[in-house]
Structure 1
Amino acid sequence: MAETGYPSFNTTVDKTNRVLKEIEQAYGWPKERRKQSYAALRGVLHALRDRLTIQEAAQFGAELPMLMRGVYYEGWDVNRVPVRMSKDGFLARVRQEFPYEVKGGIEQLTRTVVDALKMYVSEGEWADVRAGMPKDLAELIS
């Protein structure tokens, strides 16, 4: 566990590290490739945030650990959302923030990140998120 001197910060750093490690383990990446797991997490969080309505984005963000919540809200412009995206558009949005080649492609990477996020976001919230999306996109994040 990271020691920041403040228990809430220690907890959020630990939770974020767990998600990053889940992504890294799924691909066999060493910790030295942390920038890639971070880019994957950030890309999926931003694509989700921008696809959701303002209210749903806020509800989803409220369930994230504090540090991931900061990443999620970074650069958010509520005047430009929701952005209508199909599955292909969503994957293109993730690709914008993940410029690396990855085994299995961006779709598999997105599924891996979503699986890692499920540690901290309730199934009920995932159901709410999926409910407002086209079927192909809802299946991607199920």
Structure 2
Amino acid sequence: MTNPRDVKYANESIARWQDALKQRAMLETNNITFACLRGFLHELRARLPLAAIATVGNHLPAVQRGVFYQDWTPDALLPTPDLATFEAALAARLLPHVHMPEGIAADVLWLIKTESEPFDAAAIRSVLPSPLAEIWDRA
């Protein structure tokens, strides 16, 4: 029996993503790196309508997809009027264990954009809230 590509390479993919983010954001540990990635994905999910959540989830690698959906209960859509609002919510989500590194939202967007296949990256970009899409476009 063969394993699907997503399953076979799941550990390699998350390790590659963590290493890239750790280096890009100059984070000290894998635990901090993972917490920042998870926090970002959960804050993003809270700001997307249901169809967009499915789009993002369908275009993330297997482990990252699992993290994206972890502990999800559909709830009211949170607004994202600007980057500061998103980053304040992300900082609150990371506390008390991790103090949010400066620029981590841009670093995670860069990570998703550069580590994803172009087709997947384009699909994710198409559903981002506008303040995050602007950062994506500059990454």
TM-score bucket of the superposed structures, by smaller chain: 0.7 to 0.9
Moved over 3 A (4+): 6-10, 27-30
Report whether the alignment pairs 1:36 with 2:32: yes
Partner residue in 2 for 1:3: none
C-alpha displacement at 1:88, in angstroms?
2.1
1:116 to 108, 111, 114: 111
Q: Secondary structure at the match of 2:9?
A: helix
Cα distance, 1:116 vs structure 2: 1.0
Q: Under a length normalisation based on structure 2, what TM-score does the superposition of the two structures give?
A: 0.79
**What is the Cα deviation at residue 8 of structure 1?**
4.8
Distance in 2 (alpha carbons) for counterparts of 1:65 and 1:137: 20
Partner of 2:92: 96
CA distance in 2 between counterparts of 1:126 and 1:59 reads: 7
Gaps of 5+ in 1: 1-5
1:55-96 Cα deviation digits (max 9, x unpaired) = 111111011111111110012121x14211222221122213
**What secondary structure is seen at the aligned counterpart in 2 of 1:97?**
helix
| Pairwise CA RMSD | 2.2
- Judge conservation of contact 1:39–1:97 (CA < 8 Å) in 2: no
Is contact 2:55-2:124 (8 Å) kept? Answer: no
SS in 2 for 1:129: coil
Partner of 1:61: 57
Q: How far 1:102 moved relative to its partner?
A: 5.3
Q: Which of the numbers 9, 12, 15 marks the counterpart of 1:14?
A: 12
With CA pairs under 8 Å and 6+ residues apart, which has the higher RCO, 1 or 2? 2
> Does structure 1 conserve the Cα–Cα contact (< 8 Å) formed by 2:59 and 2:121?
no
Deviation of residue 10 (structure 1)? 4.3
Where does the alignment leave 5 or more consecutive residues of structure 2 unmatched?
none
Identity %: 23
Equivalent pair of 1:36/1:98 in contact (CA under 8 Å): no
Q: Deviations over 1:100-142 (max 9, x none)?
A: 3455x1xx11111111112126232133123xx34x3432343
Partner of 2:45: 49
